[in-house]
């Protein structure tokens, strides 16, 4: 019978998303719509999956109570309510559902732009007071005006398309997207200062980060084109709220349309409440039937896919592999984890660096997940089951271990091979390996040819190349009832140093290893267990 997982939906989610989870056959759903903090802390230990929108905060306090949690999905884009580093530390995958609400949020920005241009909410409020203030609500035309769009990701691009349709002149800024990738938008790509100085409207579509917080603030108000109108459907705090109020009062800013706030809901003393030219909406960007449906479906599909197959779509702390890539990389993934384990057991000192060189077909893929698998194998030797693919990079960094890979491209049809070189600062250890019809296989150790599977019970011996080694080894193991499954030898030069690899059927008794180490022809002997 398939394993059953328990998933808590702590905030509101469209019914179709709930249905996808329920029909998956592997998930028992607890849909609560709204979850009180105390209750969440009490029950969260029971769940393998958690779905939240923005109301439920997933921080260390919650994670400390999570005994079984594998995955948190934010039904939406912004993950400001999730402590991602703490989730990684705990080994919990974090995903979001970023695509479903882009169009609706872009439309909300455009709606606020129209509202600012024509003062529609103010005129509506005046009419409801039974007034007819025609001259008071004179507006501005959009055609021919300049709009600055800061952040050209999913939503920013949708906004640009609509502004161009309105025949506006569009300035854009996004330092993290290569200019060539934005050329098709046919807008003027520029910098923040130019946008502040030239725009009649400015709209922001970035996350709230150190580089975007206070993008308009009290110090740069004077840089704005007088009469500018500001729109924020991204995150509160990108424009400093006090500065906007100051700008509206002084007339530098003609109006601000804000869907998001530094604190939500804002405190009663928010200065913008008092200003007629501030048009405020309660975080409605994604609040359309269409967006909620799309986000719920995207969220539920990701949850089912992850719990079924381990593929994390839109993961924010876990390598994202599509199923096609997974088919090719799965045996390499397993191989790297086993090599990590082997290296950690084969070397004497604490490993400091692991360099992986990839060759052949393999180099056509994103191979970062293999480095994570290597880290997991390596750390599991010391840390046990606490390590998983999410927290392995965190733990590796904490311990000062660097794991890096590089692809060597070749024009010929070279077979896929990887070479791993590990160092503990004193000793180096090197393995070459490949994946063949029988799975992951080691094809060389320390520049010597060897062929064996990195699994089961292994005795790895560095010895002097002298007669009697094999005979004595066989006798010693046999006298302790240890059966040899396979044995391989390789040496650098006659009479020089040799490597002996012995695969045994069961665990090696400790006294056998000690006896071996005492032999004068044994330079080093290690018992390695790979699961
Ligand atoms: P996205 O990741 O697709 O795009 C964000 C873009 O901002 C990226 O291209 C990034 O390169 C750019 N960026 C980051 N720092 C920047 C900087 N300093 N200057 C210029 N550009 C910068 O995200 P998205 O889906 O377009 O969402 C954008 C924002 O809208 C997010 O903050 C999201 O949380 C918010 N959002 C709000 C609502 C709402 O209801 N109001 C709905 C959806 C999304
Ligand atoms: C988001 O980040 O997706 C938005 O803030 C929309 C929301 O969840 O309300």
Give me the pLDDT at residue 441, please. 96
Ligand 1 touching residue 519 (CB < 6 A) = no
Residue bearing the CA closest to ligand 2, atom 6: 286
Give me the pLDDT at residue 2, please. 66
| 247, 218 contact by CB (below 8 A) | no
Angle at 50 between CA 309 and CA 6, to 5 degrees: 65
Q: How many alpha carbons fall within 13 Å on the CB side of residue 51?
A: 30
Ligand closest to CA 112: 1
Q: Which residues are catalytically annotated? A: 235, 264, 283
Give me the pLDDT at residue 251, please. 97
Find the 286 Cα to ligand 2 centroid distance in Å. 6
> Which tokens sit at 260?
């998001």
Give me the pLDDT at residue 116, please. 98
> Which tokens sit at 215?
């993008």
For residue 119, give every residue at least 6 positions away whose Cβ sits within 8 Å of its Cβ, in sequence order, or none: 137, 139, 255
| pLDDT (mean) for 41-56 | 97
Query: What domains can you pick out in the chain, each with its CATH number?
Result: 5-99+290-309 (3.40.50.720), 102-280 (3.40.50.720), 318-451 (3.30.1330.90), 455-531 (3.30.70.260)
Find the 224 Cα to ligand 1 centroid distance in Å. 22
Ligand closest to CA 52: 2
- Which is the closest atom of ligand 1 to the Cα of 207? 32
| 403, 374 contact by CB (below 8 A) | yes
Cα distance between residue 361 and residue 347, in whole Å: 30
Find the 285 Cα to ligand 2 centroid distance in Å. 7
Give me the pLDDT at residue 321, please. 67
- Which is the closest atom of ligand 2 to the Cα of 283? 9
- The residues pairing with 452 across neighbouring beta strands, listed in sequence order, are 442
pLDDT interval class at 385 (50, 70, 90): confident
- If we measure between CA atoms, which residue out of 118, 112, 115, 78 comes closest to residue 94? 78
For residue 440, give every residue at least 6 positions away whose Cβ sits within 8 Å of its Cβ, in sequence order, or none: 331, 332, 334, 335, 338, 339, 433, 434, 453, 454
pLDDT interval class at 161 (50, 70, 90): very high
What's the pLDDT tens digit per position in 168-185?
Answer: 999 999 988 878 889 999
Report the greatest alpha carbon distance in the chain: 109
Give me the pLDDT at residue 130, please. 98
pLDDT interval class at 531 (50, 70, 90): confident
Pocket test for ligand 2, best of 55, 206, 285, 287 (most atoms within 8 A of CB): 285
Query: What is the b/e burial string over 118-149, where b = at least 16 CB atoms within 10 angstroms of the residue's CB?
Result: bbebbbeebeeeeeeeeeeeeeeebeebbbbb
- The residues pairing with 461 across neighbouring beta strands, listed in sequence order, are 500, 525
Find the 139 Cα to ligand 1 centroid distance in Å. 29
Find the 316 Cα to ligand 1 centroid distance in Å. 15
What's the pLDDT tens digit per position in 190-204?
Answer: 999 999 999 999 999
Q: What is the mean pLDDT of the chain?
A: 94
Neighbours of 457 (CB within 10 A): 17
Cα distance between residue 432 and residue 436, in whole Å: 13
| pLDDT (mean) for 251-279 | 97
Cα distance between residue 405 and residue 367, in whole Å: 8
Cα distance between residue 116 and residue 392, in whole Å: 49
| pLDDT (mean) for 218-244 | 97
- H-only helix segments in 209-322: 241-250, 289-309
What's the pLDDT tens digit per position in 305-360?
Answer: 999 988 888 888 887 766 677 778 889 999 999 999 999 999 988 899 999 999 99
Ligand 2 touching residue 13 (CB < 6 A) = no
Residue 235: cis peptide before it, omega within 30 degrees of 0: no
Give me the pLDDT at residue 322, please. 67
Cα distance between residue 523 and residue 410, in whole Å: 38
| pLDDT (mean) for 290-295 | 98
| pLDDT (mean) for 235-241 | 97
Cα-based distances in Å from 214 to 77, 211, 224, 238, 458? 21, 8, 14, 5, 59
Ligand closest to CA 155: 1
What's the pLDDT tens digit per position in 453-495?
Answer: 999 999 999 988 888 888 889 899 999 999 999 898 888 888 8
What's the pLDDT tens digit per position in 404-431?
Answer: 999 998 777 888 999 999 999 998 999 9
- Which is the closest atom of ligand 2 to the Cα of 260? 5
Q: How far apart are the first and last CA of the chain?
A: 24
What's the pLDDT tens digit per position in 76-89?
Answer: 999 999 999 899 98
């Amino acid at each position: 019978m398939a394993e059953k997982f328990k998933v808590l939906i702590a905030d509101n989610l469209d019914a179709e998303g709930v249905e996808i989870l329920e029909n998956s056959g592997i998930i028992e759903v607890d849909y609560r719509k709204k979850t009180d903090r105390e209750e969440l802390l009490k029950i969260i230990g029971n769940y393998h999956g958690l779905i939240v929108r923005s109301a439920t905060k997933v921080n260390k306090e919650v994670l400390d109570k999570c005994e079984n949690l594998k995955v948190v999905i934010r039904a939406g884009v912004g993950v400001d309510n999730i402590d991602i580093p703490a989730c990684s530390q705990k080994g919990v995958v974090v995903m979001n559902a970023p695509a479903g609400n882009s169009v609706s949020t872009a439309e909300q920005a455009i709606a606020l732009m129209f509202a600012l241009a024509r003062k529609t909410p103010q005129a509506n409020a005046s009419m409801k007071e039974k007034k007819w203030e025609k001259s008071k609500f004179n507006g501005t035309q959009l055609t021919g005006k300049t709009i600055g769009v800061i952040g050209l990701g999913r939503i920013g691009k949708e906004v640009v398309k609509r502004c161009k349709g309105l025949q506006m002149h569009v300035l854009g800024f996004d330092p993290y997207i290569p200019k060539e990738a934005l050329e098709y938008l046919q807008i003027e790509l520029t910098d923040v200062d130019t946008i502040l100085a030239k725009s009649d409207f400015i709209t922001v579509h970035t996350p709230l980060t150190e580089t975007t917080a206070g993008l308009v603030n009290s110090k740069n108000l004077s840089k704005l084109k007088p009469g500018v109108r500001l729109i924020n459907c991204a995150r509160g705090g990108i424009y400093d709220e006090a500065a906007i109020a100051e700008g509206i009062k002084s007339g530098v800013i003609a109006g601000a349309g804000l869907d998001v706030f530094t604190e939500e809901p804002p405190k009663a003393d928010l200065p913008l409440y008092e200003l007629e030219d501030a048009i405020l909406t309660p975080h409605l960007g994604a609040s359309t039937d269409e967006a909620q449906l799309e986000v719920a479906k995207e969220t539920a599909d990701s949850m089912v896919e992850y719990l079924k197959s381990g593929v994390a779509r839109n993961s924010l702390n876990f390598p994202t592999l599509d199923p096609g890539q997974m088919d090719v990389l799965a045996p390499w993934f397993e191989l790297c984890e086993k090599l990590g384990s082997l290296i950690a057991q084969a070397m004497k000192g604490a490993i400091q660096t692991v360099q992986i060189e990839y060759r052949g077909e393999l180099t056509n893929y994103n191979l970062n997940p293999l480095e994570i698998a290597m880290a997991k194998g390596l750390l599991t030797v010391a840390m046990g089951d606490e390590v998983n693919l999410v927290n392995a990079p965190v733990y590796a960094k904490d311990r000062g271990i660097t794991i890096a890979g590089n692809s060597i491209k070749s024009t010929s049809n070279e077979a896929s091979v990887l070479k791993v070189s590990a160092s503990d600062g004193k000793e180096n250890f090197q393995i070459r390996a490949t994946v063949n019809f029988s799975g992951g296989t080691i094809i060389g150790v320390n520049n010597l040819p060897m062929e064996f599977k990195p699994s089961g019970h292994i005795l790895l011996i560095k010895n002097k190349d002298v007669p009697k080694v094999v005979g004595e080894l066989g006798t010693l193991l046999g006298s302790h009832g240890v059966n040899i499954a396979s044995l391989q030898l390789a040496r650098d030069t006659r009479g020089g140093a040799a490597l002996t690899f012995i695969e045994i059927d069961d665990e090696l008794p400790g006294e056998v290893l000690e006896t071996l180490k005492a032999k004068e022809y044994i330079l080093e002997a290690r018992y390695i267990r790979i699961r």
